[in-house]
C-alpha cells in the first residue's frame, strides 16, 4: 500500500525531483488532463523537465492548455507522478504507459476508492476534483498561477462538478473557482466550450442512447445502453462519451441513472449517477467498482448486455429490499 503523504511532504518530494513524467488515466477527462497540464506548466516554470503521458489521445477540445506531451526519447523519467488515477487498471493498455505505471512514485488524487498502487499518495477525498487539490499545492508552494495554469485548473474543477451542479461541489470549490478567475481563467470561453457546445456526432450518440432508454422499479431507475457499433457509427470522440452518463439521472423522478457502454474489448462500463441520499459508490461496490457518493462506476466482464442489465437490476433490487436505497 501507498505511503500516505501530507501536502508539505508531497511538495518537498516534487521540488527535489527532476525529469518528471506525469501520467493521466485512459479516456482522459478534464480533471486528469487539466490537473496534469497545470502541474507540468508549474514544474517547467521552476526550471524542471516535465511532460505528460496518456494511453489515449488527449481530446482536441483541450488544445488551449498548450499540451506538453511525452514521447519516448524526450528524456529518461526519474520521477513518475500519477494524476487523478484511482487504480492501476485505469492507465490503459499502452506499452509505454504500462512501463511507467508499474513504478509510480507519487499519486495525486481525490478518489477515496484509490487502491494504493503508488509508492506514495497525496489524497484529499473532500476535494471535488484533483484540480482543487492541485490548487492547494500550488498555493502552498508559492508557485505563480498564470492565466494558462488557471485555465487548466478551472477545466478540471468545472468538468468534475458538472459546471458546479454536482453534489460534490462545496463552498471551498466555489472559492477556488473564484481564485482561478482572479488569476485570469477565461471562464466565459471555457464554460461555452466545455458545456454549451456539442458536436453532431455527440447528438447522434444521444439519439441512440434515448432509443435504448429503459425504466425499472416504478421509474426510480433509468438505464441507457450503447453498443460498440452505435458508438462507432456516431463517430463520437472518446472524450464526449462521459457526458452521456448524465442523461438518465436528469429525468424527473429518477433516483438512479445508469449507462451501460460496451468497450472495444466487449466488456461493459457501467456508469452510475444518483440523487442526494442514494450512494452510487455502494451500488458500484456490489458490481466490483467504486467512485464517489453520487457518481461511480464499474466494469462488467464475461457477460452479454442482457446479462449485464440483469446483474445491475439484481443489485439495485437487493439494495431496495435492504433499505439501502430509501
- Structure-block grid coordinates of residue 323: 433499505
Q: Is a pLDDT exceeding 80 seen at residue 186?
A: yes
Half-sphere exposure of 30 (CA within 13 A, CB side): 27
Same domain, 234 and 265: yes
- Structure-block grid coordinates of residue 133: 487539490
Range 198-213 average pLDDT: 90
Same domain, 213 and 237: yes
Among 160, 195, 230, the domain boundary falls at 195
What is the rounded CA–CA span in Å between residue 271 and residue 29?
14
Return the biggest CA–CA distance within the chain: 59
297 three-class SS:
strand
Same domain, 279 and 158: no
Q: Is a pLDDT exceeding 80 seen at residue 210?
A: yes
Q: CATH number for the domain including 86?
A: 3.90.1640.10
pTM of the model: 0.84
Q: CATH number for the domain including 209?
A: 3.10.310.30
Same domain, 181 and 271: no
Q: What pLDDT does 241 receive?
A: 78
C-beta of residue 244 within 8 angstroms of C-beta of residue 260 = no
Range 279-285 average pLDDT: 91
Cβ-based neighbour number of residue 201 at 10 Å: 15
Q: What pLDDT does 16 receive?
A: 97
Among 195, 226, 250, the domain boundary falls at 195
Length in residues, the chain: 326
Same domain, 206 and 162: no
C-beta of residue 33 within 8 angstroms of C-beta of residue 2 = no
What is the rounded CA–CA span in Å between residue 83 and residue 100?
13
C-beta of residue 248 within 8 angstroms of C-beta of residue 222 = yes
Q: Rounded to an integer, what is the distance from CA 215 to the centroid of its chain?
A: 27
Q: What pLDDT does 265 receive?
A: 85
Same domain, 185 and 38: yes
Range 222-239 average pLDDT: 89
Based on the structure, what is the number of domains in the chain? Answer: 2
- State what percent of residues in the chain have pLDDT above 90: 78
Range 34-61 average pLDDT: 96
Q: Is a pLDDT exceeding 90 seen at residue 239?
A: no
What is the rounded CA–CA span in Å between residue 49 and residue 39?
12
Range 256-271 average pLDDT: 91
Same domain, 126 and 236: no
Cβ partners under 8 Å of residue 217, min gap 6: 316, 317, 320
Same domain, 178 and 293: no
Q: What pLDDT does 173 receive?
A: 98
Q: Is a pLDDT exceeding 70 seen at residue 223?
A: yes
Same domain, 117 and 47: yes
What's the whole-number average pLDDT of the chain?
Answer: 93
Same domain, 315 and 179: no
Among 154, 179, 195, the domain boundary falls at 195
Q: Is a pLDDT exceeding 80 seen at residue 228?
A: yes
pLDDT-based confidence at 322, cuts 50/70/90? confident
Range 168-181 average pLDDT: 97
**Which residues make beta-bridge pairs with 297?**
271, 290
Q: What pLDDT does 326 receive?
A: 61
Helix (H) / strand (E) element for 22: namely strand 20-23
pLDDT-based confidence at 276, cuts 50/70/90? confident
- Structure-block grid coordinates of residue 95: 506499452
User: Could you tell me the residue range of the domain that residue 280 belongs to?
Assistant: 200-322
Same domain, 22 and 146: yes
Q: Judging by DSSP bridges, how do beta strands 295-300 and 290-291 pair with one another?
A: antiparallel
234 three-class SS:
helix
Q: What pLDDT does 226 receive?
A: 93
Q: What pLDDT does 172 receive?
A: 98
Q: What pLDDT does 236 receive?
A: 86
Region of poorest pLDDT, from 43-47, 108-112, 131-135, 197-201: 197-201
Helix (H) / strand (E) element for 271: namely strand 268-274
What is the rounded CA–CA span in Å between residue 221 and residue 274?
9
What is the rounded CA–CA span in Å between residue 292 and residue 290?
7
What is the rounded CA–CA span in Å between residue 131 and residue 32?
8
Same domain, 304 and 206: yes
Q: Is a pLDDT exceeding 80 seen at residue 255?
A: yes
Per residue in 296-318, pLDDT tens?
889 899 999 999 999 999 999 99
C-beta of residue 158 within 8 angstroms of C-beta of residue 190 = yes
Burial class of residue 194 (count of CB atoms within 10 Å of its CB; 0-12, 13-18, 19+): middle
Amino acid at each position: 500500500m501507498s505511503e500516505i503523504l501530507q501536502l508539505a511532504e508531497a511538495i518537498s518530494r516534487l521540488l527535489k525531483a527532476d525529469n518528471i513524467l506525469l501520467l493521466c488515466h485512459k479516456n482522459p477527462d478534464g480533471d486528469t488532463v487539466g490537473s496534469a497540464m497545470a502541474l507540468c506548466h508549474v514544474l517547467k516554470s521552476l526550471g524542471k523537465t516535465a511532460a505528460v503521458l496518456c494511453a489515449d489521445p488527449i481530446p482536441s477540445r483541450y488544445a488551449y492548455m498548450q499540451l506538453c506531451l511525452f514521447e519516448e526519447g524526450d528524456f529518461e523519467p526519474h520521477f513518475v507522478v500519477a494524476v487523478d488515477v484511482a487504480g492501476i487498471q485505469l492507465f490503459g493498455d499502452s506499452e509505454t504507459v504500462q512501463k511507467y505505471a508499474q513504478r509510480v512514485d507519487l499519486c495525486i488524487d481525490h478518489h477515496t476508492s484509490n487502491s494504493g498502487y503508488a509508492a506514495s499518495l497525496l489524497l484529499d477525498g473532500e476535494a471535488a476534483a484533483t484540480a482543487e487539490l492541485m490548487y492547494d499545492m500550488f498555493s502552498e508552494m508559492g508557485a505563480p498561477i498564470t492565466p494558462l495554469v488557471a485555465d487548466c485548473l478551472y477545466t478540471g474543477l468545472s468538468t468534475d462538478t458538472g459546471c458546479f451542479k454536482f453534489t460534490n461541489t462545496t463552498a471551498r470549490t466555489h472559492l477556488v473557482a473564484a481564485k482561478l478567475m482572479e488569476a485570469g481563467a477565461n471562464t466565459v470561453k471555457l464554460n461555452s466550450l466545455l458545456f454549451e457546445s456539442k458536436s453532431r456526432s455527440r447528438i447522434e450518440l444521444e439519439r441512440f442512447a434515448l432509443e435504448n432508454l429503459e425504466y425499472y422499479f416504478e421509474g426510480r431507475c433509468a438505464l441507457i445502453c450503447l453498443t460498440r457499433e452505435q458508438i462507432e457509427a456516431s463517430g463520437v470522440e472518446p472524450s464526449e462519451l462521459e457526458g452521456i452518463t448524465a442523461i438518465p439521472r436528469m429525468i424527473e423522478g429518477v433516483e438512479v441513472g445508469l449507462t451501460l457502454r460496451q468497450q472495444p474489448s466487449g466488456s461493459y462500463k457501467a456508469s452510475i449517477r444518483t440523487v442526494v441520499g442514494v450512494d452510487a459508490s455502494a451500488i458500484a461496490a456490489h458490481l466490483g467498482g467504486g467512485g464517489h457518493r453520487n457518481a461511480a462506476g464499474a466494469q462488467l466482464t464475461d457477460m452479454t448486455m442482457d446479462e449485464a442489465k440483469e446483474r445491475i437490476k439484481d443489485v439495485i433490487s437487493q439494495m431496495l429490499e435492504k433499505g439501502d436505497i430509501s
